[in-house]
Structure 1
Amino acid sequence: MTGRPSIIVHSDKPEPALAVLAESHPDLQVAACDSYGGLAEMIADTGAEIVYSVRFSGTPLFPRRALLESSTVRWVSVGGSGTDHLLPWDPSKVTVTNAAGVAADMMAEYALGAMLSFSLGLPGFARDQRARRWTAGRVEPIEGRTLLILGLGRTGQAVARRAKAMGMVTLGARARPGPTPNVDEVHRIGDMPELWARADFIVCCVPLLETTRGLVDRQAFSAMKPTAVLIDVSRGGVVEEAALVEALEARRLRGAALDVFATEPLPADHPLWGYDNVIITPHCSSVYDGWDVKSVRMFAENLARYRRGEPLENVVDPTRGY
């Protein structure tokens, strides 16, 4: 650690981050890299000690090795919450932090909106409107319905808070169960076989780890109510997409709202595009005006701690994913 560490902002839109850092740490020289391919060379040229990094062009080509095999990088500050694109790393050589919570409220609103879309039947009404067809419509309350939340980090807790305000019954699963605000029952991830059948809505907001990869699989879909709705704001890979397609084809599921996929962008020939009861969004449940500025301000505050020799906040344990 140095009093004036060398820093790289790794983002396709680095200007907001550069502006915040110029205001909060005016004595530091901060370089910007707006490509995946140029990061290794910039680290070598600058001897960067810290990299603030946003995954802006997907995971497959992300320059993970440039960050984790560098002889100078000591701290990688991830601009979002997910860190699966960096796994695995040695925490004795490099510290990884994230911006957990920067989008928790927005993602919770996305989940609530998806639940309301299905309970109110909005996709069906939209189809009737386009056809200029007046029907005998009906809507359903979500009050009294049971919500199962997979993952009770900041996003999961934000979902639970909104669900309780709507009068829902809330079940939650997390790696280390314990009393959690606004959650009626907290279970272990290993208890999932007993929980699937109880849920009217299921919201996935767990990190992608070996323990959560394929968590929502064929057995899970077989155990769910045929009236259940799946909402996924976690990471592609938590839900087995082939199993989801099978469940949709067999009408073992009312529908799904999906913001994350195993391959992004979702290929144009993927069968999920073809279902009227599936809402597809382009990994944007955490993207809102100002999220990038909020994230880099969190980094700037952590950078001040770093320069004072204080412990960093939001340090990620690679074995836990948070």
Structure 2
Amino acid sequence: MPDTPRIVLHNNDTAPLARWLRAAYPQAGFRECNSYEALPALIESYRPEIVYSVRFAGTPGFPRDALFGPYSPRWIANGGAGTDHYGQWDPQKTIVTNAAGVAAGMMAEYILGGFLHFTLDIPGLQKDKAARVWNARKVRPLAGKSLLIVGLGHTGQAVSARAKAFGMKVLGTRARPEPMEHVDEVHASDDLHDLLPRADFIAVSTPLIPATRGLIGKDEIAAMKPGVIFADVSRGGVVDQSALYDALKTRHVAAAALDVFETEPLPEISPLWALENVIISPHCSSVYADWEQASFELFIQNLGRWMRGERLVNIVNPARGY
């Protein structure tokens, strides 16, 4: 393993990444790339062993083929948690790591914030304030209510810890069920349909892989308890957006906080924009003030392992997507 691997930093703003890399490893040779279009030529000419990459302009046009083509780097460090934009790859040829866990706490706060937005009737309070009306509204507690977390990974576990602090009963699903702290019941993913009617709140935080595409479809939404409050921070494609819209319009699903969509940016013609019982955010639940530095610090730690010939952390299994 070379002492000074060739690295490409791929993001829309690589200046801070370059600064952090120089501070940690002055001997590392690297190039910077600030667009999707320029990456293929740079990989072919520079032949990097490592690429640190952030999906900064959405999935359409992302230079996936260059990353896994004939000049593929040995290690791709994905700056975010999701790797669905990579499709499938040969893990014997290319190691892919992700930054799972870096934004878990922030995403959990987004989910709980969405729940509180509706249980405290913030929209109604804002309307009354605008109208200068003193109207005593009833608020609803989270304590004693049941929360179903679909996907007990880093984010799901961060949600469960915060939900228990509110006094909620926490149910959750994961591919390999085992007892977990802050979760009252851990179930297999195949048990999802049976759990849906039990939940007052549902948080979806599973990665998008073939097994989870369309996981929350029309039948699953129909099985939910009437009046459930829903939050989705997974990936567009896990939830059937059309079926969810229908359920929100009829109030079978009382309200939803949605950070991910089947098409991003969400088209202006989407009927979701017009629903008062929906929070729409532009896939930013994981974006906080220092997230890029936290993600890159994880890369720096992994780079040290790489240079010492040690196993990297957060290696993604392409069959599982995490």
TM range (shorter): over 0.9
User: Matched residues in 1 for 2:207 and 2:52: separation?
Assistant: 20
In the alignment, which residue of structure 2 is the partner of 1:98? 98
Distance of 1:197 and 1:128 partners within structure 2: 33
Distance in 1 separating the partners of 2:74 and 2:97 = 11
Match of 2:76 in 1: 76
Aligned positions of 1:117-156 closer than 5 A: 117-156=117-156
Structure 1 residue aligned with 2:210: 210
Return the alpha-carbon distance in structure 2 between the equivalents of residues 120 and 248 of structure 1. 18
- The aligned residue for residue 165 of structure 2 is 165
Number of the residue aligned with 1:266: 266
* Cα pair 1:143 1:168 within 8 Å, conserved: yes
The residue number in structure 1 matching 2:26 is: 26
SS, match of residue 207 in structure 2: coil
Question: 1:133: how far off?
Answer: 2.6
Structure 2 counterparts to residues 1-322 of structure 1, below 5 A: 1-322=1-322
How much does 1:72 deviate?
4.5
Unaligned 5+ runs, structure 2:
none
Q: Deviations over 1:107-148 (max 9, x none)?
A: 011111111111111112112222323323110110001000
Residues in 2 aligned to 1:265 and 1:173: alpha-carbon distance in whole angstroms:
29
Q: Is the 2:43–2:71 Cα contact (8 Å) retained in structure 1? A: no
Q: Please give the alpha-carbon distance, in whole angstroms, between the structure 2 residues aligned to 1:111 and 1:64.
A: 30
Following superposition, the deviation at residue 162 of structure 1 comes to 0.3
Runs of 4+ with deviation above 3 angstroms: none
User: What letter corresponds to residue 284 of structure 1 in structure 2?
Assistant: C
Q: Secondary structure at the match of 1:77?
A: strand
Q: Is the CA contact (8 Å cut-off) linking 2:249 and 2:275 kept in structure 1?
A: no
Q: Distance between the aligned counterparts of 1:30 and 1:127, measured in 2?
A: 53
Contact 1:151 1:172 in 2 (8 A): yes
Letter in structure 1 aligned against 2:20: V
SS across alignment from 2:158: helix
Counterpart code for 2:300: A
AA aligned to 1:207 is P
Cα distance in 2 between the residues matched to 1:320 and 1:136: 49
Give 1:252 shift: 1.1
Q: 1:227·1:253 contact (CA, 8 Å) conserved in 2?
A: yes
- In the alignment, residue 134 of structure 2 is paired with which amino acid? W
Consecutive unaligned residues of structure 1, counting only runs of 5 or more, are: none
- TM-score normalised by length of structure 2: 0.98
Q: Deviations over 1:129-176 (max 9, x none)?
A: 223233231101100010000111111000000000110000000111
Q: Please tell me the residue identity of whatever aligns with 2:280.
A: I
The answer to whether the 8 Å contact 1:233/1:258 transfers is yes
Question: Alpha-carbon deviations, 1:217-245, whole Å to 9, x = none?
Answer: 11111111121011001111111001011
Q: Distance in 1 between matches of 2:128 and 2:223?
A: 32
Matched-pair contact (CA < 8 Å) for 2:11–2:54: yes
| One-letter amino acid matched to 1:293 | Q
Query: In 2, distance between residues paired with 1:308 and 1:70?
Result: 26
Tell me, what secondary structure is at the counterpart of 2:253? coil
Residue pair 1:16, 1:292 contacting (<8 A) in 2 also? no
CA separation in 2, counterparts of 1:70 and 1:289?
37
Identity %: 52
1: CA distance between counterparts of 2:37 and 2:24? 29
Mean Cα displacement is larger for which, 244-253 or 271-280?
244-253
2:256–2:277 Cα contact (<8 Å) kept: yes
